[in-house]
Amino acid sequence: MSVCLNPQFPARVRCIDPVIAPVVVMDALHEVTAGTPFDHPDRFDPLLEDLILWLRSTARDLSGACAPSIADSLDTPAQRGAGDRQKIVVAFFRSLPPHMRVRQILSGLEGR
């Protein structure tokens, strides 16, 4: 049963339409990279590919994780000095709707 139709989930979790999820995800990524060095295709495309590969490799472990919890797990004191790329990735997950899960984010990045 679709999460959107299942009444056991709160309305805020059920609201994301699977059809618009890819648009929301890619808009968020373009928004956080705008005006940064990652705004250019030679840096944006590898960033996108790395996000897709990372989410695919951790999808099983993070299957129930929502966007803010993913951002929190990446924004640790040890990783804060990692540079601009790390900041962009954390900002990306923080900019997504808080109820988005890994599968929705990955589908959005893959364009499905």
Question: What is the residue extent of each domain of the chain?
Answer: 18-110
Q: What pLDDT does residue 80 have?
A: 60
Does the pLDDT of residue 68 top 80, yes or no? yes
Q: What percent of the chain has pLDDT over 70?
A: 74
Closest CA to 13 of 110, 105, 101, 108: 101
Q: What pLDDT does residue 16 have?
A: 53
Does the pLDDT of residue 74 top 60, yes or no? yes
Dihedral sign from CA coordinates of 57, 50, 48, 30 = positive
Q: Are 34 and 44 in contact (CB under 8 A)?
A: no
What are the backbone dihedrals phi and psi of residue 101, each rounded to the nearest 5 degrees, phi first? -100, 170
Average pLDDT over residues 33-49: 93
pTM value is 0.77
Average pLDDT over residues 76-101: 83
Q: What pLDDT does residue 85 have?
A: 87
